Amino acid sequence: MMLDLPTPIRAYFAADAGNDADALARTFVEDAVVVDEGHTYQGRAEIKQWNVESSAKYEYTSEPIAVAKTDDKFIVTSRLVGKFKGSPIDLQYGFELQGDKIASLEIGP
């Protein structure tokens, strides 16, 4: 299913699918924050490292299947399939944008 995602969010998922941690990090503003699995990552360098480690650990694919807009966030539901207990699982990605970049991302059930 093709979703109508804002450009930086579409670029995030494309970079993730292509295992391109550099491109993924560039979808964020310099001081962006990512919260995933109870950990907080700040800045492009930490976000890049988080993506590299998560990709290697879980060997996952992620397919956005739904999107909703709240006042200040885009909530994307994505189906993850990989090497982890409970696979496949649908996770919520809460994106806050700043201009044409991602300012924050929170991932959870």
Break the chain into its structural domains and give their ranges: 7-108
What pLDDT sits at residue 69?
A: 95
- Tell me the C-alpha to C-alpha distance, in Å, between residue 16 and each of 59, 62, 72: 11, 8, 23
What pLDDT sits at residue 61?
A: 93
What CATH number was assigned to the domain covering residues 7-108? 3.10.450.50
List pLDDT tens digits, range 27-63: 999 999 999 999 999 999 999 999 999 999 898 999 9
List pLDDT tens digits, range 2-24: 789 999 999 999 999 999 999 99
Q: How far apart are the first and last CA of the chain?
A: 21
Q: For the whole model, what pTM was predicted?
A: 0.94
- Per cent of the chain over pLDDT 70 is 98
Q: Tell me the sheet residues that pair with 96.
A: 104
Phi, then psi, of 26 in degrees rounded to 5: -70, -10
